[in-house]
Amino acid sequence: MKLSNMAKFWISFVLAIPMLIQMLLMPFHVMFPGHNEIALVTTTLIMGLAAFPYWRSAWQAFKKHAANMNTLIALGTSAAYFYSIFAMLTHRPVYFESAAFVTVFVLLGDAMEEKMNHNASQALSALLKLQAKSAQVSRAGHFITVPIAEVKPVDLIRVRPGEKVPVDGIIVSGSTDLDESLVTGESMPVHKQPKDDVIGATLNTTGTFTFKATQVGADTLLAQIVNFVKQAQASHAPIQNLTDQLSHIFVPIVIMIAIITFVVWYSILAAPLVE
């Protein structure tokens, strides 16, 4: 079963709690027995559950001779994790908490993005449910009920009180008040009379009227709204595209600075300590 990012976040956060408690107690020089061993187990679980997808994404980018933000996440967490294992074996300070909490914080951002996408999908489903399933269409001088898919432009359609307007059109006869709040956001019913436009999925509240269909299927306002939401979900915002482009430059620069920093630190500070 594939876990959502939100589920991964909460599991990883719970696993990281022992390390968080240990960090809070460090100023008081309180150390739990076996805290390194506990940190090793919990961080390993976090790496396997949550960090591995970032490592895989970074590896895929590396094979294409590219770099992205996941490259930095993978390098940072893997360096802290594997060095901590080495440090643990050589009785040096470990940094398991760095690998764990970086993963937890990044995962929180992904979980929030996933939540927003889920809310948008639910909004789409709600919009689709607004549409009427059938319509009373004039056929050979009589109104009969037909599925919404069989409604054609220029069909004459009758709508009675309490029914939904099936498609977009223009009123031919009768008058009424339409509740358009679910489509347009207008809270008060809108009075409609002959030659006025009506919108599919709006609710007829008072009188009976007949209108001529002008837009059906994918051409209705409701269908266009749904299509716009789908396009918004599938596309990236301009700032996100700019961020993706800058990451191809920013990430290699950060990696080079990190390498230079390590070399300088090791040459100036670590070498005398080794001697």
Domain ranges of the chain: 5-127, 132-221
Instruction: Please tell me the distance from the alpha carbon of residue 55 to that of residue 47, in angstroms, as a whole number.
Output: 9
Cβ atoms of 138 and 157 within 8 Å: the answer is yes
Whole-prediction pTM: 0.70
- Cα 273 to chain center, whole Å? 49
CB 178, CB 192: distance < 8 Å: yes
User: DSSP code of 50?
Assistant: I
- The single residue listed with the structure tokens 């001779």 is 65
State residue 183's pLDDT score: 79
Stated as kind and residue range, the H or E segment containing 94 is: none
Per-residue pLDDT of the chain (275 residues; tens, 9 = 90+): 688 899 999 999 999 999 999 888 888 877 778 899 999 999 999 999 999 999 999 999 889 888 888 898 999 999 999 999 999 999 889 999 999 999 999 999 999 988 888 887 787 777 777 788 999 999 888 899 999 989 999 899 999 999 999 999 999 999 999 998 877 788 889 999 999 999 998 999 999 999 999 999 889 888 888 888 777 777 666 666 677 677 778 888 888 998 898 888 878 776 554 44
User: How far is the C-alpha of 159 from the C-alpha of 138, rounded, in Å?
Assistant: 11
DSSP 102-120: HHHHHHHHHHHHHHHHHHH
CATH topology of domain 132-221: 2.70.150
